Amino acid sequence: MPEGPSVRKFQLLTTPFVGQVVTKVGGSSRKINVNDLNALRLQDSQVHGKNLYLAFVAAEGPVGPTLQREAASRASSPAQGGQEQVCARHTHLQEKELQELQDFRSEVPDAAEGLGNWLRFHFGLFGSIRANEFSRAKKANKRGDWKDPIPRLVLHFERGGFLVFYNCRMHWCSSPRADPASDVLSVEFHRGRALDALHAPNPVCYTLLDQRYFSGLGNIIKNEILYLAKIHPLTPGTLLALSDLERLLDCAVQFSSDWLRSKLHGEGLHPQIYKKEQCPLGHAVMKGTLGPSGGLKRLTWWCPQCQPAVLSKDGDPSPVTE
C-alpha cells in the first residue's frame, strides 16, 4: 500500500480543489453512497500517516447540524463488517493482495466511528489519486483485454477540474485520527516516544510497522532503513545500543523525507535492498516473511553481511520463517 510519502503527494493533488463545490460524482464504491457528495464543498484536506482525510460541508456555508445528521444516517447503514469488498471480482487473490487486506484489517477497526463530515481514504496496494486525468491500462490483463482501472470515486468540481480515486476504502468519520507525534514526516514527530517503542524486546522490524509509533512507515521504508542503519530485521530492540536506535530513527526521518521530495519531483524510488537479490556491495540478499505471531507478516529483505544477526545472550538467533 502507499506509504506516508505517497499519501502526502496525493494530498497535494487535492489541495487546489479545497474551497470548490462538487458538481458531479461517479465511481464504483459500495462502502459509501457517492451521490451524497453531490453539491458539497470540499473544505479541508489533511494527511495523517497512511490516511488521507477530506472534509465536506454543505455548499452554502460551514458545516451545520443538518449535514452532520445526514452524514450520521449515511454512516449508520449496515457496516458490512467494516470491510469493503475490495477484491470481489478476483476469485484468486495474490499473496500481495492478501497482505493488503490484512493491512486493512489491522488498521481499520473503526466502523463505530462512522459519524461526521470527514471522508477517510485508506489506499490499497495500487491505490492512487489522479487530478484531471484518468489512469489508463499499462498492459493487457490475463485475458488479453486492455481494461482501464475502475475508479472508486470521481469528483468533478465547479471550476471544471476533477479528482479520481483508485483502489481505496472510504469511510465517513467525525474527525481525522491525527497523531502527528507518531508521524515521521511531521515536524511534531516525537523521537523520545519512538525510541522507547524501539527499545523493546520485540524485533525492530515488527516495531517499525506499528502504526501507533510510526504512522506512515510501511514495508518499503522498513526494509530500506534497516539496511541503511546496518541492523538485522529480527534484532530485539533491547539488544541495540541507544546510538544504534538513534541512527535507525535518523534513517527513518531522512529516508521518508527524501522519498517525499523525489516524489514531488516526479522521480522514482531506487531501493537498495527492497526486492533486490544483491545489496549495493554485491552480497547475496536474504528474504523472509517476518512478523509477530498472530500478527501481520511482511516480506523482508536483508543482507546477512551488511546487517549481521545479533545473538541474544543465550546465543540463540531469532527464528526466521520462510
**Smallest separation (angstroms) from Zn ion to the CB of 143:** 42
Q: How does strand 51-58 pair with strand 22-26?
A: unpaired
Please identify which of the residues 3, 84, 100, 224 carries the catalytic annotation.
3
2 is catalytic: yes
Q: Is residue 53 a contact partner of residue 15, using CB atoms and an 8 Å limit?
A: no
267 is catalytic: no
Neighbours of 285 (CB within 10 A): 21
How far from chain centre, in Å, is Cα 41? 26
136 is catalytic: no
Residue 133: CA atoms inside 13 Å, Cβ hemisphere, count? 6
C-alpha cell at 264: 514531488
User: Toward Zn ion, which CB reaches closer, 86 or 228?
Assistant: 228
C-alpha cell at 304: 546477512
User: Toward Zn ion, which CB reaches closer, 206 or 302?
Assistant: 302
User: Toward Zn ion, which CB reaches closer, 118 or 302?
Assistant: 302
- CA 253, CA 11: separation in Å to the nearest integer? 19
User: Toward Zn ion, which CB reaches closer, 10 or 255?
Assistant: 255
Please identify which of the residues 2, 151, 176, 203 carries the catalytic annotation.
2
In the chain, the N- to C-terminal Cα span, in Å, equals 22
**Smallest separation (angstroms) from Zn ion to the CB of 308:** 10
C-alpha cell at 119: 471522508
Question: Residue 87 corresponds to which amino acid?
Answer: C
Chain residues in the site for Zn ion (CB under 5 A): 279, 281, 283, 303, 305-306
CA proximity to 280, closest of 270, 289, 288 = 270
**Smallest separation (angstroms) from Zn ion to the CB of 299:** 18
User: Toward Zn ion, which CB reaches closer, 187 or 281?
Assistant: 281
User: Toward Zn ion, which CB reaches closer, 135 or 305?
Assistant: 305
**Smallest separation (angstroms) from Zn ion to the CB of 278:** 8
Q: How far is CA 159 from CA 14, 21, 231, 245, in A?
A: 14, 9, 51, 49
**Smallest separation (angstroms) from Zn ion to the CB of 306:** 3
The H or E element that residue 173 is part of is strand 162-173
Please identify which of the residues 31, 50, 120, 152 carries the catalytic annotation.
50
**Smallest separation (angstroms) from Zn ion to the CB of 139:** 33
298 is catalytic: yes
Please, which residues have CB within 8 angstroms of residue 94's CB and are 6 or more apart in sequence? none
The residues assigned a catalytic role are: 2-3, 50, 298
